[in-house]
Every structure is written in C-alpha cells, then in structure tokens.
C-alpha cells in the first residue's frame, strides 16, 4: 500500500468516525428526556399545525395532560381547538387551553377573544398565557406597557374563570419583561435538553420541541410537571 492509499484510508476512517459521532449525538438529543423517576407526569402542547390527532393513542403513550392553543391576539381562534378539546377529553386526558399573546394588541381585547372560546369546564387545567418574542408582531414595547397589557389580560381571565393564569415564558421574554416585574404567577419554563435555570421556580417545563408521541404524525412539544406539583394543583 503506497502513501496515498494509506492517507485516503485514514481519511475515510476519520470521515466515518465523524459521521457516526454526529448521528449518535443527533439520536441522543432527539431522544433525550428528563429522568422519569424525578418527573413522572408528562404532557404535550398542540395547535392546528399538528393536524388530526389520535387522542386514544396519545393517552396510551405515557401522556397525562395536554395544553392546546385556543386563540391568539385579538381575533384569531385556533381552528382545531374544539376538535382537540373533545378528543382529549374522550381519551381521559387532563386538558388545558392557552392563548398566544400579541405585543400588538390590548390585553383586554385578547382576554375577551380567549374567553369567547374557552370552555366553561371547572375541571380544566389553569389557563395559560403564552408569552414569546416571536410571532406576527414585530413591536418591542417598553416594559411598563407590556406589563400593563399582561395584567389586563390576567385580571379579566382570572375573574371570569376563577383560576390563576400560568405564564409560559422562554428565557428571552422572561429576562426582557417578567423578571422582577411583580407579576407573581406560576411559570411554564422552556429549556431544551436541560433543566431551566433562568427562573427561581417553575411548575411546568417544556424540555423538547421536536418530540414524537404516538397518535401525532409530526413533531410535538414535550413537557413535564414539576416533581413537587400535581395535576390537581394545576387546576387551581
């Protein structure tokens, strides 16, 4: 074997090793999940983007609860909400609804939109306000304005439903608007592949945004309940 052949063979093995390492790392990250003994209560969140869902299969795949998108901004209503609500209920899953907040719309108007579609089910999980810097609004209002509109939304929804609103807030939104704001609500944190470290406490944790669950044909967000919480407490 000449020098060129030896070099090419070495290069081949290096390339194969790199590919195997990349595939292995991808498999690890795609299949990673929190320890099931520490976080046994698992759930998903869904919207119309996921298409038709077989809720019986979902419930059989170690899923205990689901949050589904109900509305967004001042007038958008999720077209799959009613179907998802009925299907998840028939499968025996604990159900909750969330509203995707827009920084371009008044909080009161958004609350009215959310309440117009929210079922009058006293056993439902606490309503969630989804707070993100992505979406169809490019505005970045000052903190006092954002907090005022969030407060307006929260006050109206809590008064109407008698349950404390939970804030879903990834680290960027939390650091920009919520940290030290005095809006003391339970937090649904987002932290992919490791426990949330940007907030002192949280009740829900989204740990994956490309998970797989039986009954759902596309990627789905995966979540766990805090080890010190339970689903009954999430209904308050």
Give per-residue pLDDT as tens, 187-202: 999 999 899 999 989 9
Which of the listed CATH numbers 1.10.1050.10, 3.20.20.80, 3.40.50.920, 3.40.50.300 matches domain 36-235?
A: 3.20.20.80
Place of tokens 């119309």: 48
**What pLDDT shows up at residue 12?**
53
Whether residue 91 is predicted with pLDDT greater than 50 in this model: the reply is yes
Q: Taking the complete model, does pTM exceed 0.85, yes or no?
A: yes
Whether residue 177 is predicted with pLDDT greater than 60 in this model: the reply is yes
Place of tokens 């809006």: 183
**What pLDDT shows up at residue 25?**
36
Q: Categorize the per-residue pLDDT at 169 as very low, low, confident or very high, splitting at 50, 70 and 90.
A: very high
Long-range CB pairs of 50-54, under 8 A, 24+ apart, other chains included: 50/80, 50/216, 50/217, 50/218, 50/220, 51/217, 51/218, 52/83, 52/217, 53/84, 53/87, 53/215, 53/216, 54/214, 54/215, 54/216
Percentage of the chain beyond pLDDT 90 is 83
Q: Categorize the per-residue pLDDT at 4 as very low, low, confident or very high, splitting at 50, 70 and 90.
A: low
Q: What is the DSSP letter of 2?
A: -
**Would you say how long the chain is, in residues?**
236
Report pLDDT digits (tens) over 133-160.
Answer: 988 799 999 999 999 999 999 999 999 9
Of residues 194, 192, 187, 188, the one with CA closest to residue 209? 192
Measured at the CA of 86, the angle between CA 81 and CA 88, to 5 degrees, comes to: 90
Distances, alpha carbon 166 to alpha carbons 33, 69, 91, in Å: 23, 14, 24
Q: Categorize the per-residue pLDDT at 118 as very low, low, confident or very high, splitting at 50, 70 and 90.
A: very high
Segments making up each domain of the chain, as ranges: 1-31, 36-235
* Average pLDDT, integer, range 4-22: 51
**What pLDDT shows up at residue 212?**
96
Rg over CA atoms, the chain: 21
Whether residue 64 is predicted with pLDDT greater than 50 in this model: the reply is yes
């Amino acid at each position: 074997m000449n020098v060129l052949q030896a070099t090419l063979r070495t290069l081949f093995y290096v390339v194969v090793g790199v590919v195997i390492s990349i595939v292995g790392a991808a498999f690890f990250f795609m299949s990673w999940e929190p320890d099931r003994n520490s976080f046994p209560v698992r759930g998903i969140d869904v919207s119309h983007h996921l298409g038709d869902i077989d809720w019986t299969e979902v419930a059989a795949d170690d899923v205990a609860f689901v949050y589904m998108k109900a509305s967004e901004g001042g007038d958008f209503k999720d077209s799959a909400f009613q179907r998802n609500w009925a299907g998840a209920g028939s499968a025996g899953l604990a159900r909750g609804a969330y509203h995707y907040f827009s920084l371009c719309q008044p909080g009161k108007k958004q609350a009215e939109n959310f309440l117009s579609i929210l079922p009058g089910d006293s056993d439902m999980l606490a309503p969630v306000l989804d707070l993100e810097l992505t979406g169809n609004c490019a505005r970045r209002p000052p903190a006092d304005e954002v907090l005022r509109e969030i407060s307006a939304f929260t006050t109206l929804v809590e008064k109407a439903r008698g349950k404390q609103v939970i804030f879903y807030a990834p680290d960027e939104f939390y650091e920009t608007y919520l940290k030290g704001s005095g809006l003391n609500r339970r937090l649904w944190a987002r932290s992919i592949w490791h426990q949330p470290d940007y907030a002192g406490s949280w009740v829900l944790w989204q740990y994956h945004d490309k998970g797989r669950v039986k009954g759902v044909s596309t990627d789905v967000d995966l979540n766990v309940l805090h080890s010190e919480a339970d689903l009954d407490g999430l209904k308050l």
